[in-house]
Chain A
């Protein structure tokens, strides 16, 4: 019973927060299943009375959402992998090695984040045009790297810095090189941080709209955010289609989370350091 009192309020909090987090998503899903008459009603139903699945088939067929899904996966995936590798290396260097002007570099990296992306669209467009990368996957990936890498460096550095240096020294005394220590010691412990950063990069690239709009013109190459917009048409918003597309849009990330949740949540530092 004491357990109930001590932990009870925690459960209540957790429940309330879960409701806050999940309710809008739940609402999206049921709206995607409702016919128009049920959507525009003064007393919203919390359950679709006549679930209609046709929005999904419609959106995947006519709306070419499937193709856009593939595009988004390719671009976001490439961005994530490259970002983690590139930023990981830089973060390690900035956390452990004696780099000249380290503080300046860090500040420099940070300042690149301080401009709203939309302001940089035209110069970026000019850059990409000169490099003949407009309308290509590579061009968009590179553009995404520009704003995911700085952030990733900072966050990963933040994680690496909290890992005591003794661990690497121990590994190096055991004969490992600097780089070897990086792989054998830092990588496993900073695991959660790495996964968090990868997730961040993936989601940033996955959700990005403005640059994709500017760079991608061909229907074939459009990413999901662009395709979602097409249902917010000139007149009446096609809510059913918007919601269905949103669900499809969110699914891969949910799968991503499901697979990596353990890695994210369960740390691997149990007992790694003694004092």
Chain B
């Protein structure tokens, strides 16, 4: 259907005969061809590679499966037993709470810092090249290496952080064991996660800031809006789609965190600092309770799903859906 025909019809000048069923079908099919071609590779990969493992994991969560069961296919169906355990066992429940609280904190921290950096970068300050390179670098460092580095920086006897804090007058931090206590371990992990995550957020927000038409901002300026008002009333609403996407993904990532917690949290007594991903892994691989491990993962999944749906509704129409 070319636009000219459409316009002509709309103008009422030409009347188009009602298409037959066959014609409708073929038109519908040809209208679909392009989308299908464009979508097929991606969907094949996603459904094929992720679909099967996901389905299997969800199924596993309703069973009691040990390593032997995995090999021989002899899992026992236990219904909601695993889920009951997830919510009643202290350690498992704590890990879920940890995940939500810590994850949220990381998202807030990352978005705030990312936005600040994006705004600064958009200002094209002098030495912008230096600043932009500096904020990109943490992203280049692999999570495991970053965790090791920060573990070293926060070391109780030889770490830089304690030395600097003591020098600044906080004697409390002499030989302070950051990773022996849950809350201080989380402070350290927060720093690591935000340090690693903010570059990407900043970069994406910057790209978004650059699609904000200068004319609109100029117009607002002429109308008497100051910098803050311009940001709040013009820029932010225009950035909504990108911010929405970034918040959702940040949340998903930060709730799923594995590497950093795996490296930095084991020292905390009684595994009190483990998050859901680490606990799930431990239940499955260390303890051999594949069913329970799967259940934890599914609960995490439900939490994230609920959040995503709720958030998308809250944001309203994101872009041109």
A and B touch in the complex (CB under 8 A): yes
Binding site for B on A (CB under 8 A): 7, 10-11, 13-14, 17-18, 20-22, 24-25, 27-28, 31, 39-44, 86-87, 89-90, 92-95, 97-100, 102-103, 105, 107-120, 122-124, 127, 142-143, 145-147, 149-151, 153-155, 158-159, 161-163, 165, 172-173, 178-179, 189, 192-193, 196, 199-200, 203, 206-207, 209-210, 224-225, 228-229, 232, 237, 239, 242-243, 245-246, 249-250, 253-254, 256-258, 261, 264-267, 269-271, 273-275
**CA–CA, A13 to B158, complex, Å?**
29
Q: List 7 A-B contacts (CB under 8 A).
A: A89-B39, A90-B39, A98-B35, A159-B211, A163-B211, A249-B145, A257-B137
Contact, CB under 8 Å: A147 / B50: yes
Q: Which residues of A contact B142 (CB under 8 A)?
A: 206-207, 209, 224-225, 228, 246, 249-250
Given that A192-B210, A246-B149 are known contacts, is A17 also in contact with B140, CB under 8 Å in the complex?
Answer: no
CB < 8 Å: which of A116, A179, A253, A274 contacts B258?
Answer: A116
Contact, CB under 8 Å: B321 / A103: yes
Q: Which residues of B contact A145 (CB under 8 A)?
A: 45, 49
Minimum Cβ distance to chain A for residue B207 (Å): 4
Contact, CB under 8 Å: B280 / A116: yes
**CA–CA, A236 to B207, complex, Å?**
44
Q: Which residues of A contact B42 (CB under 8 A)?
A: 86-87, 89-90, 149, 153
B53, B129, B284, B300: most-surrounded residue (chain A CB, <10 A): B53
**CA–CA, A122 to B288, complex, Å?**
12
Q: Which residues of A contact B54 (CB under 8 A)?
A: 112, 115, 120
Contact, CB under 8 Å: B210 / A27: no
Given that A13-B120, A21-B138, A161-B319 are known contacts, is A246 also in contact with B145, CB under 8 Å in the complex?
Answer: yes
Given A28-B149, A89-B37, A110-B248, 7 other A-B residues pairs in contact with their CB atoms under 8 A: A17-B134, A43-B163, A113-B249, A149-B46, A154-B249, A228-B144, A269-B210
Q: Which residues of A contact B41 (CB under 8 A)?
A: 86, 89-90
**CA–CA, A13 to B123, complex, Å?**
12
Contact, CB under 8 Å: A10 / B50: no
Residue B304 lies at the interface, judged by CB distance under 8 Å to chain A? yes
Q: Which residues of B contact A42 (CB under 8 A)?
A: 157-158, 163
Given that A7-B125, A269-B211 are known contacts, is A127 also in contact with B49, CB under 8 Å in the complex?
Answer: yes
Contact, CB under 8 Å: B53 / A124: yes
Q: Which residues of A contact B248 (CB under 8 A)?
A: 110, 154
Name the interface residues of B252-311: CB closer than 8 Å to any CB of A: 252, 256, 258-259, 276-277, 280-281, 284, 290, 293-294, 297, 300-301, 304-305, 308-309
Q: Which residues of B contact A108 (CB under 8 A)?
A: 46
Q: Which residues of A contact B252 (CB under 8 A)?
A: 110, 113-114
Contact, CB under 8 Å: B203 / A264: yes
Q: Which residues of A contact B143 (CB under 8 A)?
A: 207, 209
Contact with A along B128-172 (1 / 0, CB 8 A): 111111111111111111101110110001111001000000000
Binding site for A on B (CB under 8 A): 3, 31-32, 34-35, 37-39, 41-43, 45-46, 49-54, 56-57, 70, 113, 116-117, 120-121, 123, 125-126, 128-146, 148-150, 152-153, 157-160, 163, 195, 199-200, 203-204, 206-208, 210-211, 213-215, 238, 241-242, 244-245, 248-249, 252, 256, 258-259, 276-277, 280-281, 284, 290, 293-294, 297, 300-301, 304-305, 308-309, 318-321
CB closest chain-A residue, reference B138: A21
Contact, CB under 8 Å: A225 / B144: yes
